[in-house]
Amino acid sequence: MHRRILIIDDHDDLASSLDEVFSHDGHEVHIAQTRAEAVAFDDIEKFDLVITDLDVEKAACETPANGDGPVCLPQLPAGITAEHIKAFKICAANFRRDGFNEDELKEIVATILDYKTRFVDKIEFVQDLHEYIEFEFPSAISLMHVILEYLMKRVEKLGVIKPEQSNLFIALDEAFVNAVKHGNKFDAEKLVRVSAEVSSKEARFTIEDEGEGFDVNNIPDPLDPENLFKSSGRGVLFIYNIMDEVAYNERGNRLTMVKKKSEDSAV
**Each residue's pLDDT tens digit, 224-247:** 555 444 555 567 888 988 999 999
**Nearest of 54, 198, 77, 196 to residue 126 by alpha carbon:** 198
CATH of domain 4-266: 3.30.565.10
**Nearest of 131, 147, 253, 243 to residue 196 by alpha carbon:** 131
pLDDT at 221: 58
**Nearest of 102, 76, 100, 107 to residue 89 by alpha carbon:** 76
- Please give the DSSP secondary-structure letter assigned to residue 209: -
Neighbours of 186 (CB within 10 A): 13
Higher local confidence (pLDDT), 133 or 68: 133
- Bridge partner residues of 138 (DSSP): 191
Most confident among 78-82, 148-152, 156-160 (mean pLDDT):
148-152
172's CB contacts (< 8 A; 6+ apart) are: 148, 151, 152, 205, 257
Domain definitions of the chain by residue range: 4-266
Across 100-111, b (16+ Cβ under 10 Å) vs e yields eeeeebbebbbb
